Amino acid sequence: MNKYLIGILLLYSIVFVGCMNDLNPEGGWSDPIVADNDLIVASKDGYLHQFNLETGYYNDIWKYPRGDEGLGAIYGSTILFDDTLYGNSYSCRGNDCAGRVFAVKKSDAIPEWGNQNIPINSRLIGDIAVSEEMILVSTGTVRDEINDSNISGLLISIDRVSGFINWEIPLDGESWSGVYLQNDIAYLGTLGGSIYAIDISKSNRFLDDPSKRILWTYDSGRAIAGGILISGDNIIFGDFGNRIFKISNQARSEGLNFPSKSEWLFNTENWVWATPIEDEGIIYASTLSGDVYAIGSNNGEEKWSANLDSKIIASPIVFDRRRGDKIQRSLAVPSADENVYVLSLFDGKELGVFATESAVKSSPVIHNDLIYVHSVEGKLLWFSTVDMSLRGCTDLVERKPC
């Protein structure tokens, strides 16, 4: 009997300890970026890596941070601005989260701001936005140590050169969508279901109260976790109410009822997380149940739809696929079922797959007839866009070819 009881206790311990993994952020959602002849990718173990596209080799010398401790989970994409890479990451014990905003020279991986990252006591999940003067970061719940309370979410402006915080605006919920810039307006969404348009211009008008920067808000009523596509004077985003919205900055500024003339609402089959993309007047959007839609940007009418039967978290990309003398416009859709699907841009028909053998939660990038894919397992794989064959693979965690 003793043996049975001890067995049960052990089983309990294993199960409970095993389940704790569900509480830890994994990361690996950050899109790789191409800068000059290099590809920069943030791996699952919290490091930025550089990969030379010309030689096809991993750059052993370039790595950030250099120490044994990584940056934590990286979900947002890294932004290259003025030869500096900006990004955010976080690590957590339950809800006790330590976020950080980092800036590092692309040329030599030397950190900016006197070797310091900017700490923010929150989950930092979405993309950051960078302008000439500032870095904009949207946060999850922020622990206010001074008042011993929680703030549901913040938009924080950080001076790009000094790394000091310029101003903060409290939001109606956590913001996982990231910040998207157009001229002097920043857009972001919250899990509370609101879209914010915020004036980020330099002006003394906002000194006493940064909340006056809010130009308008739009309440979709359901959580907005995915990113925002800016298209002219409009923004396009999806929510957890199975909908894709196109809303006009002008119409919202004027306080018109939704939908005004240039706005529309498109119903989907499931929640939308991936940021929609636009190509030649068509919006390509996807859902967490694997639906892909091509929607007319002007009228919100469906051109075609396809179902990949797998979670789609990252945005698709449009690329030219060479077939002999012909060039076929195609859509590469990363999915969580270990494949990047290639769909025809014209009718959504499946043209093939890049078999990644691991879930992909970041958008691929194209360079010289090769498509580079970062899998959540921590591998960088590249395939020929011509014959779709695997051409190479590097394990970013092990730092060696796979």
Partner 1 sequence: MEIFGLLWSEIIMRPMINSLVFLYYFLFSSFGISIIVFTVIIRLLMIPLTVRQYTQMKKMQVIQPRMKALQEKYKEKTSDNRRKLSQETMGLYKEAGVSPIGCLGPMFIQMPIWIGLYRAIIKTIPPTPEGLADLSVLLYSWNPGISSIPLGSVFLSTIDLADLVSAAVVPWNFALPVMVGGSMWLMQKMTTVPSSDPRQRQTNQMMLWMMPIMFGVFTWQFPSGLAIYILFSNIVGIIIQYFISGNEMLENFSINPFSRDKNIKINNQNSLDLASEKITKPNSKIKDGNKNGEEIHRKRRKRSNRHSSSGNRRKARRS
Binding site for partner 1 (CB under 8 A): 1-2, 4-5, 8-9, 11-13, 15-16, 19-20, 22-26, 29, 73, 75, 92-96, 123, 125, 148, 150, 176, 191, 221-223, 225, 240-241, 270-271, 273, 288-289, 311, 313
Distance spanning both ends of the chain, measured CA to CA: 48
Cis peptide before 65 (omega within 30 of 0): yes
Q: How far is the CB of 141 from partner 1 (least distance, A)?
A: 8
How many contiguous H segments (helices) and E segments (strands) does the chain have? 3, 35
Question: CB–CB of 337/371 below 8 Å?
Answer: no
- Secondary structure element (H or E) that encloses residue 123, with its range: none
DSSP 204: G
Q: How far is the CB of 237 from partner 1 (least distance, A)?
A: 16
Q: How far is the CB of 162 from partner 1 (least distance, A)?
A: 30
Q: How far is the CB of 73 from partner 1 (least distance, A)?
A: 8
Residue 229 or 336 with smaller CB distance to partner 1:
336
Q: How far is the CB of 1 from partner 1 (least distance, A)?
A: 6
Helix ranges (DSSP H) in 249-366: 249-253
Q: How far is the CB of 191 from partner 1 (least distance, A)?
A: 5
Residue 151 or 282 with smaller CB distance to partner 1:
151
Residue 280 CB contacts under 8 Å (≥ 6 apart), including other chains: none
Residues in the chain: 402
Residue 243 or 303 with smaller CB distance to partner 1:
243
Cis peptide before 316 (omega within 30 of 0): no
Question: CB–CB of 158/101 below 8 Å?
Answer: yes
Residue 248 or 286 with smaller CB distance to partner 1:
286
Burial 173-204 (b: 16+ CB within 10 A, else e): bbbbbbbbbbeebbbbbbbbbbbbbbebeeee
Q: How far is the CB of 250 from partner 1 (least distance, A)?
A: 30
What is the rounded distance in angstroms from the CA atom of residue 325 to the CA atom of residue 43?
A: 37
Residue 223 or 308 with smaller CB distance to partner 1:
223
Amino acid identity for residue 171 in this structure: L
